[in-house]
Each structure stands twice: as structure tokens, then as C-alpha cells.
Amino acid sequence: MQLAAGERVALLGPSGAGKSTLLAVANGLLEPDQGQVRWQGEPRARAVRARRHQQARIGTLWQDLRLIEELTVQQNLNAARLAVWGWPKALLNLLHPLETAACAAVLQRLDLDPALLNQPVSALSGGQRQRVALARLLRQEPLLLLADEPLASLDPRLAADLLALLLELACPPRALLLSLHRPDLLHGFDRVIGLRAGQLVFDRPATALEPGQLQALYAGCEAP
């Protein structure tokens, strides 16, 4: 399986197909039992620092967002920079949030008021939290965006908005790999990958996907 710069790929499959596992392998939280992960043509680094450097360019949007409730929006956004910051800056950020202009810029890009920067995350509405999580992702400046079922618990309107935003943010050279459980939201993706029981069932352009393949993927049988 390969992902090119700027590509937007949807990952489909029934529960237990291995979508989250694949994403965890991609962001380095899990090691593959077999095979090899390559990043920008090179095998994934084994040395701790080099590996963290690679991971810093891979951003993950979690279904439960994983914002740090006790910190302000700005401190949460800056948490995305910890991989490249040293200890002094990381500690200073907890005393007095740093890089206000950069944080305000990512908020504005997502149509959020920069006045939110000083708000604790726990004071935000559901929609604001979604966008702050996205802003944190942008603040990380990743080359690969991973999203693990980000639309699962959203109402249809919010889900459509968030998906549109993610597709918009995944512009070259940034790639997007997003796991979905709703085949009706495939519009805008370049490729669709189907997984079942840890196996690749199909990998084809989104425009070439046939309804029968989707039905077979979820029904657990071979496509006609």
C-alpha cells in the first residue's frame, strides 16, 4: 500500500477490519508484525530522535479529539509543537503560552475567533472543539494527515463540514488517510481502500468504485 504526496485516501471496512490498527502503524504507535513501513522512500527510522522527527510530520485526528481539557486552547495548539521544541520552551508554554500569532493564524484559517486562545478547552462547544483539534493538527505542520473515524459521532451537517475541511486541508504536498464507516461520504477522495479482517480487499480510484464492491466488503463475501 502506498500513499503519494497530496493524495486523499479513504479507508473503508467493517468493524474489526484493521482500519485503526493500520492508522496506528502509520503514525508509529504500533510496529507491524510483518512487512515494512517506509516514509518518504526510506525505511522508518529506528533511532529514537530520527523516529520522533518522522512522527512529527504525521498528524492524527482522533475520534475523541484527545484535547487536554485543563490547558488553554493556545497551550493545546502548542502541544503539537512539542516534538520540535526543547524543554525550556515546553515549560515556558505552561507558564505563559507562546507563539500567539501563529496560533491565532491557524484558528482564523478554521473560522475560529482568536479570542478563544485564552479559553480553557473545557469551556468550548462541541463544534469549537472539533475545529480546535483540527487547528492543532495544522499547527503540527504534518505532511500526512491521519484521521480515525473522525465523523463517527457527528450529526450529518457537522460530519459534512468536517469532511470538507479535512479534504481542503489535504492539499499537496500533504496527504490524507481517513477511515470511514459511511460509504456515502466518499466524494472528494482520490482513492478508496477496502479492508476486511486485516486483509486488503480492494484499492482503487474513488470514481471507479462499484456499489457491489462496497456491499461485498461489508457482507464479507467476494465482489461479483
3-state secondary structure (DSSP) of residue 125? coil
CB of 196 within 8 A of CB of 202? Answer: no
Closest CA to 213 of 185, 197, 194: 194
Q: How far is the CB of 80 from another protein (least distance, A)?
A: 6
What is the footprint of another protein within residues 119-178 (CB under 8 A)? 120, 122-123, 140
3-state secondary structure (DSSP) of residue 144? strand
Nearer to another protein, 75 or 213 (CB): 75
Dihedral sign, CA of 176, 182, 185, 189?
Answer: positive
What is the footprint of another protein within residues 55-94 (CB under 8 A)? 55-60, 62, 64, 66-72, 75, 79-80, 82-84, 87, 90-91, 94
Name the β-bridge partners of 202. 194
Q: Which of the 8 DSSP states describes residue 45? A: P
- From 34, 41, 95, 211, residue interacting with another protein (rule: CB under 8 A): 95
Nearer to another protein, 1 or 94 (CB): 94
Q: How far is the CB of 145 from another protein (least distance, A)?
A: 12
Distance CA 109, CA 52 (A): 27
Q: What does the binding site for another protein look like in residue numbers (CB under 8 A)?
A: 24, 27-29, 51-60, 62, 64, 66-72, 75, 79-80, 82-84, 87, 90-91, 94-96, 120, 122-123, 140
